[in-house]
Structure 1
Amino acid sequence: MSDESTTPPHDPPQTPSGKSAYVSKIVRDRISDQTFREWYAEQQVAENILEGQAYFNGPSPPKDPGKHTPSKLLQCHRKASYDRQNAPNEGTPPEGLFWIGSEFEEQVIVPFLQDATTPKTYVQNSVWIDTEITVEGTTVRLRGSTDPAIVTKDAEPLFVTEIKTTKDVQHLSEPKPHHKAQLHAYLYALDEEHDHSVRDGLVVYGSRTTFDLKAFHIEFDPEFWERVTEWMAAQTNYEARGELPPADSERDWECSYCSYKHRCGEADTPYSDIEFDGLLPLFADYDRDPLTEYLDGYADAGAKLTPTLAHVYPDLVPEYGAYEWSCPACPETFAWDALDWDGDTDDPPLCPNCLDAGEMVTLGGPEPHDQLSQ
């Protein structure tokens, strides 16, 4: 936030009316969507350092095929791989929902559980799990931390919860399968790691709008757990072979809300079955924060902005660079800013050379598989 437009002069006006105009300009300049995002990102960086978790501040490396986290289980295999391999996130991630979920758990559910638990038992914010499972010759490792757990005075877990927020809880008649899978992962791991049984817990949903709550008691189900472990083994094998998994969402509507629907082929754009890395050439709806995270994560492989995104975020070009426009019909390329184009992706620029020859050929950037030098 050190932009010159937001830097106040050394000597502000001394009259009330002058001070009012001065304050008005400074506040207007400093309060915007972009400055708020920068401020919030810096708060997260500082908090991670304070908590001794500075490693969260850099881009996340792609996941090892054999490692799984409970929160990613039993989802569309393709979506899971896109997420695990850090494919560029389309649209704006729901950071606000994550924050609300965390605050609901810490500020509401934990105090409620502390009052609801039995004598001589206690509430612990989370319990770490780390266990290996072998499924039909494939070994997978499951690591993560639970939501609040009921424990003994020696911090031995007795009962675990999985806390989720949603818009409305009235329509829920059972927990969602991937939430049930998450709780089962905790139950299996804790039961394996301790010398006493940990076989049941709660999936708790809280409404973000009304604060209504609905809880589902879950007992460990070996048949359901077998389904989850088979999913983990299949996911590991897809990624170990370098395959793009099939798109297999459990419900059709899930694709509409997926952060990778365009590269997958479930949206009204000319893309389908795109691999994990690379940006879509004529796609402009990449939010700034996940875009820069992607560019930072693949900096060593030469990641740059597409010409389309260079028009959306010209201020990022000096830091990250931009690919040139390329023509599919002739060998000519053009600098991202060399052509008169208004940024309308429905009307991309035409190749000047081909146009001179009487052909109307649309320019694009390099295709995703041609963008990185792996």
Structure 2
Amino acid sequence: MPGRNFLFIPGPSNVPERIMNAMHVSQEDMRATDFPEFTLPLFEDLKKVFKTETGRVFVFPASGTGGWEAAISNTLSPGDKVLMSGFGHFSNLWIDMCQRHGLDVQALDVEWGKGVPAEQYAEILKADKNHEIKGVFATQNETATGVASDIKAVRKALDDANHPALLYVDGVSSIASMDFRMDEWGVDLAVSGSQKGFMLPTGLGIVAASQKALDKMSSAKLPRTFFSFEDMMKVNDNGFFPYTPPTTLLRGLRESLNMLFEEGLDNVFARHKRMGTAVRKAVEAWGLQLVAQGPEWYSDTVTAIYVPEGNDGNEMARHAYRHYNLSLSVSVGKIAGQAFRIGHLGDMNELMLLTPITGAEMAMKDMGYDIELGSGVAAAQEYLRSTKKQIKN
């Protein structure tokens, strides 16, 4: 098919040309005496994205799933009780991982379309007088449902109960795109990945750990080798890695951070909120329903959209790919086939955003959906026009 593929899934996201150029370099000596001149500032600048001054950041050759494993294996022991909630495919996968590691998982089954039940967490934590719960887990952005959760509210639940459990946050599809405040919210372990808000190819699992979390390493009994914080710290402090790092991805990460800081993190978050709102305006104009059940749950990086009953959203997404070279994301888990998803994170501007809205309209019309061509595009256009920055001539 002539032309290029248009990628609008919630990760991997589009890689900007600046980052591709930064990665287009020869392989280098990761033991060279000047390598720390590159890596040590990189570690420090990553902390700015997580908004932590007191924690430290680890970069593993892995995906976000590897980051999950690193977070739990360095801080917990078999049989430790943890409090979790499942409200989508990825939050449930983290539950599954904890169960496979032999943790005692108390998992709350939450209706898909809602997020972390902070009020239920508060009740459970207050009732846990003996502090048997060692970890509290929260997915900030559930990629499968387009649902964002209030991490600050989870911290409040812990504080109100005067509970010492560690707070673990999955920020794979939120960090570097949506506001995240590790120190202010008292997050102990935060997990992200390179292929979403950081605008890189898949391949880096990025984990931030508080000092409280690091203090748990000596008592944590879960096995870890590749994902050992301790092994990383011994050599990271000098600017090196315990094994061969993906140097080309690290060079891309450097350029990613440059781009984020040039735009300004607050501007990055505002841009994502604006893009997410524009997609939601389009969905409203189509007369369709979001999977997220209210504004308090809206994600600014991915929108999941129910299709009319009797239709298959996954088949519609496949049709868009086959006929228009447009990659929309299918729905998975409990809502498989009932919805489709539009990813709008990372390197994204107004005209880029109008592409998946246009293509989705065409594919839905082809599939017999009762929508008016141009309705969603017009709604998004009007919102984007009315909210654009005023630039003096």
TM-score, structure 1 normalization: 0.27
TM-score, structure 2 normalization: 0.26
Higher CA-based Rg: 1
